[in-house]
Amino acid sequence: MSKVIVVTSGKGGVGKTTTSASFACGLAQHGYKTAVIDFDIGLRNLDLIMGCERRVVYDFVDVINGDAKLEQALIRDKRVPNLFILPASQTKDKDALTKDGVGKVLDRLRETYDYIVCDSPAGIEHGAFIALYYADEALIITNPEVSSVRDSDRILGILASKSYRAEEGLEPVKEMLILTRYSPDLVHKGEMLSIDDILDILSIPLLGVVPESKAVLQASNSGIPIIMNQKSNAGMAYSDLVKRFFGEDQSHRFITMKKKGFLSRFLRN
Amino acid sequence: MGILDCFQNTRTNTASIAKERLKIVVSHERSLRHGQLDYLPSMQQDILDVIKKYIEIDNDQLKMNIEHDDNYEVLEMNITFPDSQNLFKPIEP
């Protein structure tokens, strides 16, 4: 049975699109037919992160309005089999994302895809609301930073009260936390909220912790989802969390401070 | 601990400050969301009215908050008194 998974956070710039790209890529690498949809109408970016920006012809809104067929708008990823991208519209009005229109497109996708990943825009306005509305599961992206944690809690409230599942009295949306830009060194120094601090406040299960890494910027520079760079800690953290998503027992890596050499320890803590 | 630490001031642990602040604001926002405490604003107004019978304070000088812990809830009430020397002098009826 196919699943709709929203990647959401409330706050902007925490790694929703980075996560959507890598998570969708990971699902497809496991052999599942996966579509990832950009819900950020007017601020399309998933195409850039996935490296398919020059192949966009039709978009999500074209499909909703009946100006293009779904198959015409879906872009097949050239690197990973089973992975398809549905880009957002860059020009049209975001009100084009009607509950009805989005619901129909998702229903069509559910017929042939195993997973449909919805990359939510920031905020709690219409676009973010419609991205999470039909979700079966939600990946909550949070940075270890006060405003991000607070905004994530807001989003959890919306998932619990305004989603389709909530409105219809179905089983609640399954929520999972992904902590991004985590810096074990800062946590050790008491300068950053720890994993336990954040779990204590949000009280939802932890799917993964992605460490702060320069490789993420390099990946977005070149339009390659970070999960494809298995030499980087962040890339490995994404592979781990995808495995965890499929129920594999995978311990969390990159969450403790790096061991320091004798000289650096001597000079500075 | 490195040698240079001897010369540094002890850092304040800002992460624990962050956690405390978040706990308060998130639990407050959750309580509003769940509507469990619909009576809180009107209770706050009633308490305010009682205090005003005796002390001159503004509405925003009374702050109320409910904190949830695992086994108990705490009702926290904060009243800021104005800078007045005759603070406890009763107001003439």
pLDDT at A152 over 60: yes
What is the structure's pLDDT at A266? Answer: 64
What is the structure's pLDDT at B5? Answer: 52
Question: What are the pLDDT digits (tens) for A249-259?
Answer: 999 999 998 77
Q: What is the pTM of this model?
A: 0.81
Question: What are the pLDDT digits (tens) for A189-224?
Answer: 999 999 999 999 999 999 999 999 999 999 999 999
Which of B11, B15, B23 is facing A192, going by the closest CB pair? B15
Distance from CA of B59 to the nearest CA of A (A): 27
Instruction: Provide, as residue numbers in chain A, all residues whose Cβ is less than 8 Å from the Cβ of B14.
Output: 190-191
Instruction: Provide, as residue numbers in chain B, all residues whose Cβ is less than 8 Å from the Cβ of A267.
Output: 2-4
pLDDT at A241 over 90: yes
Instruction: Provide, as residue numbers in chain B, all residues whose Cβ is less than 8 Å from the Cβ of A189.
Output: 11
Instruction: Provide, as residue numbers in chain B, all residues whose Cβ is less than 8 Å from the Cβ of A150.
Output: 22, 25-26, 29
What is the structure's pLDDT at B57? Answer: 84
d(CA B60, CA B80) in angstroms, rounded, equals 9
**CB distance A126 to A132 below 8 Å:** no
**Tokens encoding A59:** 């978009």
pLDDT at B36 over 80: no
What angle, rounded to 10 degrees, do the helices at A233-245 and A16-29 form? 60
pLDDT at A94 over 90: no
Contacts 24+ apart (CB under 8 A), A93-96: A93/A41, A93/A42, A94/A41, A94/A42, A94/A126, A94/A127, A95/A126, A96/A41, A96/A61, A96/A64, A96/A65
Asked if A191 and B21 come within 8 Å (Cβ–Cβ), the reply is no
User: Does the CB of B4 have a partner CB in chain A at under 8 Å?
Assistant: yes
Pick the residue from chain A with its C-alpha nearest to B33: A157
Asked if A153 and B13 come within 8 Å (Cβ–Cβ), the reply is no
State the residue for tokens 């497809």. A28
Question: For the purposes of burial, counting CB atoms within 10 Å of the CB of B30, is it exposed (0-12), middle (13-18) or buried (19 or more)?
Answer: middle
- Mean pLDDT rounded to a whole number for chain A: 94
Pick the residue from chain A with its C-alpha nearest to B18: A146
pLDDT at A43 over 60: yes
Nearest Cα neighbor of A37 from A88, A109, A96, A100 is A88
